[in-house]
Amino acid sequence: MIRYTLQCENEHRFDSWFPSASGFEALKSAGQLECAVCGSKNVEKSLMAPPVAQTRKAQEGVPERPLSQPHSEAEQALAAMRREIEKNSDYVGMNFATEARAMHEGTAKKRAIHGEAKLDDARKMLEDGLPVLPLPFLSTRKTN
């Protein structure tokens, strides 16, 4: 289901639900749409804003803390560990499995690296005895 804000030629605005975008077009083409106020059949979609739900804290007037700021001792310790890892190793991104395997096999110079690996690649590295471990924090790489 999709909700549209509609407007007639007399500038009356009203909302209506449709099974899909094509459902709206089909009803409009068949002349089955009319203004809920004056009955005009000249009805178009109008500009509308999507509803945005507030969080419970925002509704209660409690300011939310940004996710990027650690507050508990555990969060501060993880943030400190992340800074140390990022300062003392090379980020190799999605090439982590390839780089780690090359160092393990002796075809690349050994160095401290961090990056990302697909679950299957990570499992295979562990099964093959590579000295790797998952880090307890999410990547800062944007995925969208």
Is the pLDDT confidence value at 59 over 90?
no
Q: Residue 137 domain-assigned?
A: no
Residue range 122-132, pLDDT digits in tens:
999 999 999 88
Q: Are 119 and 82 found together in one domain?
A: yes
Residue range 66-111, pLDDT digits in tens:
556 667 787 888 888 989 999 999 999 999 999 999 999 999 999 9
Q: Are 39 and 80 found together in one domain?
A: no
Instruction: For residue 27, report the phi and psi dihedrals to the nearest 5 degrees.
Output: -65, -40
**Containing structural domain, residue 34:** 2-45
Average pLDDT value for residue range 41-46: 89
For position 84, what pLDDT does the model report?
93
Torsion sign over Cα 62, 68, 72, 75: positive
Is the pLDDT confidence value at 63 over 80?
no
**Is residue 4 a contact partner of residue 18, using CB atoms and an 8 Å limit?**
yes
Q: Residue 22 domain-assigned?
A: yes
